[in-house]
Structure 1
Amino acid sequence: MNYRHAFHAGNFADLVKHAALLQLLARLTAEAGPLTVIDTHAGRGLYDLAGVEARKSGEAEAGIARLMAAPDAPAEFAPLIAAVRTLNGGAAARRYPGSPWLIAQALRPGDSYLACELRPDDHGALRELMKARRGVRTLCDDGYAAAIAQAPASGRLLVLIDPPFEQRDDYARIVETLAGVRRRNRAATALVWAPLKDLETFDGFLRDLEDQVGAPALVAETRMRPLTDPLKMNGCALVLLGAPDDMRPALEAVCSWTARTLGEGGEARVYSV
Structure 2
Amino acid sequence: MNYRHAFHAGNFADLVKHAALLQLLARLTREPGPLSVIDTHAGRGLYDLAGPEAVKSGEAQAGIVRLMAAKDAPPEFAPLTAAVRKLNGAGLPRRYPGSPWLIAEALRPGDSYLACELRPDEHAALQERMRGKRGVRTLLADGYEAAVAQTPASGRALVLIDPPFERADDYARTVETLAGVRRRNRQAMALVWLPLKDLETFDGFLRDLEDAAPGPLRVAETRMRPLTDPLKMNGCALVLLDAPGDMAGVLEAICGWTAGTLGSGGGAQVYGL
- Would you say same fold, with TM above 0.5? yes
Alignment partner, residue 81 of structure 2: 81
How far the C-alpha of 1:57 sits from its partner, in A, is: 0.2
Distance 1:214 1:126 in 2: 33
The whole-number CA distance in structure 2 between the counterparts of 1:89 and 1:130 is 21
* C-alpha separation in 2, matches of 1:199 and 1:165: 15
Partner of residue 12, structure 1:
12
What is the identity, as a one-letter code, of the residue corresponding to 1:69?
A
What corresponds to 1:178 in structure 2?
A: 178
Looking at structure 1, the residues matched to 115 and 137 of structure 2 have their Cα atoms a distance apart, in angstroms, of 6
The match for 2:234 is: 234
- C-alpha displacement of 1:85: 0.2
Tell me what 2:198 maps to: 198
Matched, 1:223 2:223: yes
Q: How large is the RMSD of aligned CA atoms in angstroms?
A: 0.5
Q: How far is 1:23 from its partner?
A: 0.3
- Equivalent positions of 1:114-129 (< 5 A) are 114-129=114-129
Distance in 1, Cα, partners of 2:37 & 2:123: 17
Q: Normalising by the residue count of structure 2, what TM-score does the alignment of the two structures yield?
A: 0.99
Q: Distance in 1 between matches of 2:230 and 2:198?
A: 5
The answer to whether residue 63 in structure 2 is matched with residue 63 in structure 1 is yes
Aligned length: 273
Return the alpha-carbon distance in structure 2 between the equivalents of residues 73 and 255 of structure 1: 11
Deviation string for 1:197-248 (max 9, x for gaps)?
Answer: 0000000000000111122200000000000100010000000001101000
1:140-161: CA deviation from partner (whole Å, max 9, x where unpaired)? 0000000000000000000000
2:105 corresponding residue in structure 1: 105
Deviating above 3 A after TM superposition, structure 1's stretches of 4 or more consecutive aligned residues are none
CA apart distance, 1:190 = 0.1
Counterpart position of 1:211: 211
Whole-Å separation in 1 of the counterparts to 2:200 and 2:216: 20
Return the alpha-carbon distance in structure 2 between the equivalents of residues 66 and 89 of structure 1.
Answer: 16
Cα distance in 2, alignment partners of residues 223 and 98 from structure 1: 22
Alpha-carbon distance in structure 2 between the residues aligned to 1:266 and 1:74: 19
Q: Does 1:252 align with 2:231?
A: no
- Structure 2, unaligned runs of 5 or more: none
Identity rate of aligned residues, in percent? Answer: 80
Aligned residue number for residue 51 of structure 1: 51
